[in-house]
Amino acid sequence: MAACIYFLLMLMLCHSYAQTWPSGTYGLPKPLTGCPSGWVDGRRGHDTEDTNPINMWSVPINLAGYQGRSNMEHQFCMKTFTSGSSSWPAGEYCIYKYGSCPSGFQEKFILWDDEDTDNMNTKSGTLPDGIYDNNSLYKFCCRNDGDTWQAISLPTGNNFYLFAIKAGSTCQRVIGMDVTSEWFHWDNEDYMNADGESSGSNTPYPGAFDNSISEPFSTIFLAYGIMLSCISLSGIRLIFCYYQLKSAWPSGTYGLPKPLTGCPAGWVEGRRRHDTEDTHPLNLWSDPLHLAGYQQSSSMEHEFCMKTSTSGSSRWPAGDYCIYKKWACPSGFQEGYIYWDDEDSSNINTQSGTLPDGEYTNDTKYKFCCRDDGVVSQAINLPTTDNFYLFAVGDTCQQVAGKTVVSEWFYWDNEDSSNADIQFGEHPYLGVTARGENIKLTFCYYN
């Protein structure tokens, strides 16, 4: 009995230890989800350039505070007590300095030359070490003694930020956490700008710019809604590495259409080539269409993301949508199928990898798991770290919390002679068209 009690106490101690932040005093950018328990927060309002202002930021951005084209409020989570579980692990990242840099870090700084005219900088609460007057000087603690791809151990009980550093420019991996690279660009004083940073390579990335630097961005959001692909920059930009607990897909085995961005980690892939009608071919599809594979007027390759492990975080939520069947439909779904009568003459259907349940000969049968026990406008919870597809069961896509959905479609022009397209049970919308031949499906793309 005593041994059991001792074992339980050791488990509790280890769990507590694993969830405690490293020792020392320091700060991190504050996410929308808040600060770790016991930490204090602070705020710095930056009055940036007022003439032709061009502050920019990534979409999404999960920083607490506000972002505007000529100002922004930056918020902080500050650990002001020295106790902690251990030392910070080796890696490539920066944190805010508060007191002394923890062991293994080097002190760095960046100077913001904020707006000169009618400066309205503000501050409150507990701030990182630095200078906060009409300009802003933040001090950082940075290290470059590891590999960003070698995941380090940090507490997973809260979402949090680290900074990328110039030496690597990619975000440090953290065990058990998904990471998203976000950024904010400060358009600082245009007249005799004095933005600056400490020397050396191991400083927050990319830091201070000059007017000669022009960088491409895949998604740029200006506060007044302009999208650009390339712009000449000056000011300061930082990479904010946002960490959130790894999302687990619902339990069970099933499949989803594969998007161009790929499959969730740990899933396997498959491919099915449809040889569709060759005489006067008329395959059609939406624009845009984010399906992996290829689309042509007389053939198409359909690719799949298949979850073959039964493990998962929970059950699939109630709603109106379909997924591919693999072995058994998860709880709450009903089974159905659609049969594709592919080209009869010189049929060159192919398949490889792991496929949904069905039949794969000169024709194709896909089996589905569908449910119709919710409201499409009521957002359901699913992992948000991957782009993915669901099938619609009606003419409207199911909403998913934290994701934007685009309704896309593909129309298969199947065999014209004695066509045998058919469907049974629960299946995606539309299925076999009203003419009784050819098939059109609605693919709900979540990004």
User: What pLDDT, on the 0 to 100 scale, is given for residue 16?
Assistant: 36
pLDDT computed for residue 157 by the predictor: 87
Residue 315 domain-assigned (yes or no): yes
The enclosing H or E element of 18 equals helix 2-18
Q: Are residues 230 and 98 in the same domain?
A: yes
Q: How many domains does the chain have?
A: 2
Residue 36: which pLDDT band, with cuts at 50, 70 and 90?
A: very high
Residues 187 and 281 placed together within one structural domain of the fold:
no
Which of these, 76, 124, 78, lies nearest to 98 by C-alpha position? 78
Could you tell me where the beta strands, DSSP code E, fall in 251-333? 254-257, 268-275, 284-285, 293-295, 299-307, 320-325
The vertex-425 CA angle with 424 and 430, nearest 5°, equals 75
Q: What is the mean pLDDT of residues 397-411?
A: 95
- Phi first, then psi: what are they for 64, rounded to 5°? -65, 160
Least confident of 123-127, 194-198, 283-287: 194-198
Q: How far is CA 369 from CA 46, 393, 400, 410, 426, in A?
A: 52, 11, 18, 19, 7
Last residue of a domain, one of 190, 218, 245: 245
Of 254, 249, 300, nearest in space to 277 by CA: 300
Q: Are residues 31 and 163 in the same domain?
A: yes
Q: Which residues pair with 293 in a beta bridge?
A: 302
Top pLDDT among 329 and 62 is at: 329
Return the closest-CA partner of residue 352 out of 268, 440, 259, 260.
268
362 and 415 share a domain? Answer: yes
Of 159, 140, 145, nearest to 207 (Cα)? 140
Distance CA(321)–CA(248), nearest Å, equals: 19
Mean pLDDT of 120-147: 97
Q: Which residues pair with 414 in a beta bridge?
A: none
Over residues 78-89, the mean pLDDT reads 95
Instruction: Tell me: do 186 and 307 sit in the same domain.
Output: no
Would residue 15 count as lying in a domain? no
Domain C-terminal end among 245, 268, 297: 245
Q: Are residues 97 and 172 in the same domain?
A: yes
Q: Which residues pair with 110 in a beta bridge?
A: 138, 197
Q: How far is CA 333 from CA 216, 252, 257, 374, 425, in A?
A: 45, 11, 18, 12, 11
Asked if the model's pLDDT at residue 389 lies above 60, the reply is yes
On whether both 161 and 235 belong to a single domain, the answer is: yes
Give residue-wise pLDDT tens across range 99-120: 999 999 999 999 999 999 999 9
| The pLDDT of residue 378 | 93
User: 5 or 349: which carries more pLDDT confidence?
Assistant: 349
Judgement on whether residues 98 and 226 belong to the same structural domain of the protein: yes
Domain, as residue range, for 166: 21-245
Q: Which of these three, 245, 277, 299, is where a domain ends?
A: 245
What is the distance between the alpha carbons of residues 10 and 17, in angstroms, rounded to a whole number? Answer: 10
- What pLDDT was estimated at residue 216? 36
pLDDT-derived band of residue 381, with 50, 70 and 90 as boundaries? confident
pLDDT digits over 178-188, tens only?
Answer: 788 999 999 99
**Within this chain, do residues 170 and 61 fall inside the same structural domain, yes or no?**
yes
Whether 1 is covered by a domain: the verdict is no
Q: Are residues 237 and 260 in the same domain?
A: no
Report in angstroms the alpha-carbon separations of 181 from 5, 57, 62, 169, 405: 44, 11, 10, 10, 22
Give me the pLDDT at residue 210, please. 57
Cα 120 to its chain centre, rounded Å, is: 35
pLDDT of residue 46 exceeding 50:
yes
C-alpha to C-alpha distances, 296 to 284, 433, 440, nearest whole angstrom: 8, 20, 15
- What number of helices (H) and strands (E) belong to the chain? 1, 31
Query: Bigger pLDDT: 419 or 308?
Result: 419
**What is the length of the chain?**
447
Same domain, 258 and 240: no
pLDDT tens sequence across 208-234: 875 433 333 333 333 223 333 334 457
11, part of any domain: no
**pTM higher than 0.85 for the full model?**
no
Looking at the predicted structure, is the pLDDT value of residue 401 above 90? no
Mean pLDDT of the chain: 89
Does residue 213 form part of some domain?
yes
Residue 32 scores a pLDDT above 70: yes
Q: Is residue 7 part of a domain?
A: no
**Cα–Cα distance, 78 to 99 (Å, whole number):** 11
C-alpha span between 48 and 69 (Å, rounded) = 8
The answer to whether residue 8 is domain-embedded is no
Whether 12 is covered by a domain: the verdict is no
Q: 240 and 308: one domain?
A: no
* pLDDT for the residue 233: 53
pLDDT higher at 445 or 381: 445
